[in-house]
Structure 1
Amino acid sequence: MSTLLEVDSISVSFDGFRAINNLSLTVPDTGLRAIIGPNGAGKTTFMDVVTGKTRPDSGRVLWGDGAMNLVGLSESRIARLGLGRKFQRPTVFEAQSVAENLDMALRNPRNPFRVLFAKRTPEDRTRVEAIAEEIGLVSHLGRRAGELSHGQKQWLEIGMLLAQDPRLLLVDEPAAGMTVGEREHTTDLLGRAAKTRAVVVVEHDMEFVRRLDCRVTVLHEGRVLAEGSLDHVTSDQDVIDVYLGR
């Protein structure tokens, strides 16, 4: 399995506070990775650096075969390279239908006016229906996104990212506010997505992480504290002391 993303010796400071401290980690081109850690561990800043929202003080973010350093590139340029990010709070077009949300997200060569007014092609319809089937919303295609439950909106936003065919999907706390059934569906959805791309999930819910059944990275004070299976990291005394014991 080849490396898709390599974060190499990244450091970030905000007004003297070291949010990321010489952080290094790699993400393979397919599969799931969970990132956990206490508040202030650097999880959000890590995602901000990778997606170009925050420029690090030092270090590199290497993409693909390592020939491209993402540091200094714009957020839009990085997104076009194949990085999709889902924030904790779902952001969908609530006045539009599920189908319209997915259609607008399709990775087609359209300018903004064509996105709003172009007619969907048969290929578009087929792709939208396939994504809706994948995320469990095929029976809601004609429904306004604003009428969906919180969990369904989360799935729709994941579907909108999948429509753009990203190589790496960054997902921030997807289980927050979900019912037990919705969390189970979400883990299954992310697991299927990770068969053909890399999926990195930042999460606090340990039961959700356990269901993901993936490699776990624990961050603390902006650096990697432990890595391995969930059982391995949760038995690490340092992890217990700084995170699980709280």
Structure 2
Amino acid sequence: MTLLEVDGISVSFDGFQAINGLSFAIGEPELRAVIGPNGAGKTTFMDIVTGKTRPDSGRVLWGETNRNILGQSESAIARLGIGRKFQKPTVFEDQTVRENLAMALKDRRGPFSVLFGLPADEGRLLDFAEEVGLAAQLDRLAGELSHGQKQWLEIGMLLAQEPRLLLVDEPAAGMTPAEREHTTDLLKRLARRHAVVVVEHDMDFVRRLDCRVTVLHEGRVLAEGSLDHVTQNQDVIDVYLGR
């Protein structure tokens, strides 16, 4: 089933055409990698899907009803089930892993529960911590974690919001080889029950994801298919691989 469909969106900033008639669709569950050179429109694409940027034209259709979600606020779109993880981890470093996850729980939004530390569902917290590989780190301050562990914590916080679609921006950046391997396995597991879009520059990391790849260039889809398929496309070779 198609979960998200971006239909013919275009947007320009001060005369620069950042997105140019872009169409894109992803099912649930599915893992998709989005690649492309700097300026291809990858970040703007995510900004539009999450409500940060309003396009000049086109539609963003969501869910079983194909509801056009353009014009809704970022918070409303997040509540629909669209979650985004930025490249730089944004965790609360002075709080423990457990406290970070507790603050992110979908049904624990009331200010009193956060301010006064009312009990959260410990079982759910443990599930999310185990999913991302931090079950043994629950009582550590987030600021003490390695870069890779902070990335996993942020993914755990995203999962605690129970999204159907996860947009993950350059998760492999700055990670050790072991952390990259763990992240690959994590994203592939998550894609068994979620739609997961991974924006990434590292081609070796994309190859390990072993998924369908969408190549963007000048705000439109240049090619789509397996990594081997798109890297043999002459247009992709010319504009992205530089050969």
Q: Does 1:117 align with 2:116?
A: yes
Normalised to the residue count of structure 2, the TM-score between the two structures is: 0.98
CA contact (8 A) 2:10 2:58 kept: yes
- Aligned with residue 154 of structure 2, among 157, 175, 179: 157
Partners of 1:116 and 1:54 lie apart in 2 by 32
Match of 1:129 in 2: 126
Partners of 2:135 and 2:75 lie apart in 1 by 29
Q: Does 1:82 align with 2:101?
A: no
Q: Which whole-Å deviations, capped at 9, do the CAs of 1:121-172 have from their partners, x for residues lacking one?
A: 4xx1011111111111111100000000000000000000001110000000
Normalised to the residue count of structure 1, the TM-score between the two structures is: 0.97
Aligned length: 243
Match of 1:21 in 2: 20
Partners of 2:72 and 2:63 lie apart in 1 by 15
- Name the aligned partner's letter for residue 70 of structure 1: I
Partners of 2:118 and 2:219 lie apart in 1 by 47
Q: Secondary structure at the match of 1:182?
A: helix
Structure 1: 4+ residue segments shifted above 4 A = none
- Name the aligned partner's letter for residue 133 of structure 1: E
Q: Secondary structure at the match of 1:55?
A: coil
> In angstroms, what is the RMSD of aligned CA positions?
1.0
Q: Secondary structure at the match of 2:109?
A: coil
State the Cα distance separating 1:114 from its structure 2 match.
Answer: 2.0
Q: Which whole-Å deviations, capped at 9, do the CAs of 1:168-201 have from their partners, x for residues lacking one?
A: 0000000000011100000111111111110000
- Aligned with residue 236 of structure 1, among 233, 238, 243: 233
Q: Which whole-Å deviations, capped at 9, do the CAs of 1:102-121 have from their partners, x for residues lacking one?
A: 11111115322322214224
What aligned pairs does 1:3-152 form with structure 2 within 5 A after superposition? 3-121=2-120, 124-152=121-149
State the Cα distance separating 1:25 from its structure 2 match.
Answer: 1.0
Q: Secondary structure at the match of 1:25?
A: strand
State the Cα distance separating 1:65 from its structure 2 match.
Answer: 2.3
Q: Does 1:222 align with 2:228?
A: no
Q: Secondary structure at the match of 1:199?
A: strand
What aligned pairs does 1:169-208 form with structure 2 within 5 A after superposition? 169-208=166-205
Partners of 1:67 and 1:135 lie apart in 2 by 31
- Name the aligned partner's letter for residue 120 of structure 1: P
- Name the aligned partner's letter for residue 184 of structure 2: T
Identity within the alignment, %: 76
Q: Secondary structure at the match of 2:19?
A: strand
Partners of 2:115 and 2:234 lie apart in 1 by 54
Partners of 2:50 and 2:182 lie apart in 1 by 27
CA contact (8 A) 1:6 1:66 kept: no
Q: Secondary structure at the match of 1:226?
A: strand
Partners of 1:11 and 1:207 lie apart in 2 by 31
Q: Secondary structure at the match of 1:218?
A: strand
State the Cα distance separating 1:66 from its structure 2 match.
Answer: 4.3
- Name the aligned partner's letter for residue 58 of structure 2: G
